[in-house]
Chains A and B, each alone.
Chain A
Amino acid sequence: MQRAQPLSEIVDQLVQRISAAAAQGTPLCIRGGGSKGFYGEQPRGAVLATGAYRGIIDYAPSELVVTARAGTPLAELEAVLANEGQMLAFEPPHFGPATLGGCVAAGLSGPRRANAGAVRDFVLGVRLLDGMGNDLSFGGQVMKNVAGFDVSRLMAGALGTLGVLLEVSLKVLPLPKAQATLRFELSAADAIESMNRWAGAAHPISATRWNDGELLARLSGAGAAVEAAARALGGERVDEQHAAASWLAVREHSEPYFETQFPLWRLSVKSTSAMPDVPGAQLIEWGGALRWLATDADTHRVRAIASTCGGHATLFRASDKAAGVFAPLSPALMAIHRKLKRSLDPKGILNPGRMYPDL
């Protein structure tokens, strides 16, 4: 890590920028690696770069906890963990030169999410600057901690609207000892049924993905458990190299499905939901709980479908986001959101409008 500037100076400058912006009421656009500018509502405001505040602060593999600065490149962090036989179990998508801070703020989890948990499940503690430039620490570096409200997890997926992340402590997990990927030819309905049935039978499934009549299921765990499950599930064994490339392509949206000219919707729904009856190609992940939908169908229709399936729809990638990216909240929830925003960012300067127009 080559940095010309002492770390404390970087923090001081961030504090000054935030304080000044708060005093003048001018919006700031928090930027780590700039990999997720496409996500959420249009970023606006003067760029507040956090990438310089980087590096791992503390990592003892036997604690299963790593603490790093928000500007740490995600790839660098994952390499350090892999070196010790560990990983970020939520398998976060990078979508470019991602940083840890952006990863937590975006709150996006990858293929392993249904089985291992989401980003928020692994966040143990944060140090952040609130919208007045106050330097605050919540949570800690231990796995069980119920002292105070869980502000750390609240930061996951808040898109930087509640604070500028400085440091994050995450729970990490050992890399699986063995992996195998199985391929099946199944209709969407049969794939949904199979994924849910397998998940109820204690098979060590760590990822699933269905598209266009092909279901891939990844098994991870103890060697014996993976082999036993592979025999029980059947299907065709995919060779390891090819499988690794496939899962990376699912995670990074680099597989052909995602090269679409249509708006890409992300539907987070009950895993057993039937395939939505709507025009457009669909890709299923998370044992049925995540449905990608490339469609020019009407926004209201897509949101209604997600809602019927017990979930919500996000306009993940689109050239026109006029209809709103995130599902509208009930008035009662929106009122709470506004008050939470005000409590951490009273001047409304941190990534304003990135999640909802009035946050």
Chain B
Amino acid sequence: MPTSAAPAPDPALKAKLIGALSAFLPASALLHEREDVQPYECDALSAYRQLPMAVALPATEAEVQRILTTCDALRVPVVARGAGTGLSGGALPHYNGLVLSLARLTRILDIDPAARSARLQTGVRNQAISDAAAPFGLYYAPDPSSQIACSIGGNVAENAGGMHCLKYGLTVHNILKLRAYTIEGELLEIGGDGLDAAGYDLLALLTGSEGLLAVITEVTVRLLPRPTRAQCILAAFNDVVAAGAAVANIISAGIIPAALEMMDRMTTRAVEPFVKAGYPLDAAAILLCEADGNDAEIVEQIELMKRVIECSGATEVRVSASEAERLRFWAGRKAAFPAAGRISPDYYCMDGTIPKKALPEVLNAIAQLSEKYGLACMNVFHAGDGNLHPLILYDANRPGELAKTEQFGAEILRLSIAVGGTITGEHGVGVEKLDGMCMQFGPLELQTFLAIKAAFDEHALLNPGKAVPTLHRCAELGGMHVHGGAEKFPGLARF
């Protein structure tokens, strides 16, 4: 585990840091005893754990700024943390660093129903935005599966997606303005209340930058009118190739569904006992295809989608006749990850995105790998935008199984790159996919990333060791390839 490998923190530095921070932070906002900082040792990728030197919980933007200038002066690494729901270890502490928890910055500063925007402190929960906008018939569209808990600042840092991003876009498409601080405590006001801003598109650059460039304290988001209602089609296919073809046919027919999801048989069989969704369990794959909008538009879209799906060889097509039935269709998809946790002691979630046309090839390859490694794999797929989440089921207590899982995962990542895709669609690189970055990018691209990092953070104090691997790390990996030895688990560090 990384904990055992990590060097010990510098006690003198810690004393200096605590001394400097306690000059302006109340005791309740500064944690440094082992039992107090323990809850911050990991994010939702709990296989990676590391105790931080200290945790600061500022309640104001001014405190955030002072914390940053203090850490800059002492050269203490800073790991910004929202709700800690990230899946790639992006908020994993630094052994000699400060965790900057933004969880207390939870005020909704302003909702402007006429201009359809909301100004939020960085720690506001994703779901809380839509709840606050609901009285105006508005909502915030990006809906990552963790939306009940995850914070808007974290969403921006990871460019969070969700089930509806094919139609409504990712975080980057739904934000207008940021307030962020550099490690030197300089305020950056990025974007604006209009639809663009002067200069380079730093709004896009900061989105998905995983806390490496600046610390976001405030986000202004766009709100959308809530669709009148939604309706869903559940379609069964007796092979994944036909299901993949149906997805292509839907898009080719000029339809952008509100959501378009696929689950394989392994998944439907895993979730059905828990959710009783009534999935056809003999089907090789099922598709969930949703339309939203006003009544007239839904009727027209559902009719068209149904026809296309039927012509694509579906063995069964059901259209939700009520909101209750629609939610039942979705219950299984939403329960896929928990179900994996129920049927297997451990599971490892992958996040590659692939061109949709490569789906049959990739699913077949995953099936072969599953056999090769003797590990089951459930496949859930944001089919509309090609984001595949294979869930590899394993038991960490069984000797060798973790290593096999890592290799299996690495092969899936390599496959994603080989078919023209990416190692991560929405979960981020964090610490988890650093080696995958070496596979996806060459040294020149990585150098550019490092130069961009340095443009914001010269001394590499913001979230060091995340998102962009050092060239040294990649060279070592490359060296191992050359020597032909067994790969040291690209795509995953040691647990």
A: residues with CB less than 8 A from B are: 60-65, 85-86, 107, 113-114, 117-118, 120-121, 130, 134-138, 140-151, 153-154, 156-158, 162, 173-175, 177, 196-197, 199-202, 204, 221-225, 227-228, 267-272, 286, 289-290, 309-312, 314, 326-330, 332-333, 335-337, 339-340, 342-344, 355-356
Instruction: Give Cα A158 to B198, complex, Å.
Output: 10
Report if B290 contacts A (CB, 8 A).
no
17 A-B interface contacts by CB (under 8 A) = A140-B420, A144-B165, A144-B386, A146-B429, A149-B453, A150-B204, A150-B208, A151-B205, A154-B204, A173-B256, A202-B293, A202-B294, A222-B296, A286-B195, A312-B197, A329-B199, A337-B199
Q: Are A310 and B192 in contact (CB under 8 A)?
A: yes
B463 within 8 A of A: no
B254: nearest chain-A partner, CB-CB: A174
Residues on B with beta carbons closer than 8 Å to the beta carbon of A286: 195
Taking Cβ atoms with an 8 Å cutoff, the residues of B that contact A are: 112-116, 136-138, 158-159, 161, 165-166, 169-170, 172-173, 182, 186-190, 192-202, 204-205, 207-209, 213, 224-228, 247-249, 251-252, 254-256, 293-294, 296-297, 299-301, 353-357, 382, 385-387, 420-429, 433, 436-437, 440-441, 444-445, 448-449, 451-456, 467-468
Knowing A138-B445, A158-B200, A336-B456, say if A143 contacts B166 (CB, 8 Å): yes
Please, which residues of chain B bring their CB within 8 A of the CB of A138?
445, 448
Pair B355/A150 contact, Cβ less than 8 Å = no
B252: chain A residues within 8 A (beta carbon)? 61-62
Chain B: CB-nearest residue to A139: B422
Which residues of B are found within 8 Å of A141, using beta-carbon distances?
A: 355, 420
Q: Which of A60, A134, A333 contacts B202, CB < 8 Å?
A: A333
Given pairs A143-B353, A270-B193, A332-B186, 6 additional interface contacts (CB within 8 A): A157-B196, A200-B138, A269-B194, A336-B202, A337-B199, A339-B455
**B299 engages A224 (CB within 8 Å):** yes
Contact A227 B296 (CB under 8 A): yes
CB–CB A269/B193 < 8 A: yes
Do A222 and B355 have beta carbons less than 8 Å apart?
no
Are the CB atoms of A148 and B199 closer together than 8 Å?
Answer: no
The number of inter-chain residue pairs (CB within 8 angstroms) is: 267
The verdict on A225 contacting B296 (CB below 8 Å), with A149-B452, A153-B204 known, is yes
Q: Is the CB of A336 within 8 A of B188?
A: yes
Q: Nearest chain B CB to A235's CB is how many angstroms away? A: 19
A60-B355, A63-B357, A268-B192 given; A147·B455 CB < 8 A = no
Name B251's closest neighbour in chain A (CB-CB): A62
Tell me whether B444 and A221 are in contact (CB under 8 A).
no
For residue A142, which residues in chain B have a CB less than 8 angstroms away from its CB?
A: 353-355, 385-386, 420-422, 425
Q: Which of A65, A150, A177, A270 contacts B207 (CB 8 A)?
A: A150
Known: A138-B445, A344-B451. A146 touches B199 (CB 8 A): no
A148, B449: Cβ atoms closer than 8 Å: yes
Identify A202's interface contact among B227, B426, B468, CB under 8 A: B227
Asked if residues A200 and B225 are in contact (CB atoms below 8 Å), the reply is: yes
- Rounded to whole angstroms, the CA-CA distance of A55 and B201 in the bound complex is 27
B251: chain A residues at CB < 8 Å are: 61-64, 174
Residues of B within 8 Å of A177, CB to CB, are 254
What residues of B have a CB within 8 angstroms of the CB of A197 in the complex? 114
Tell me which of B195, B429, B445 has the highest count of chain A C-beta atoms within 10 A of its own C-beta.
B195
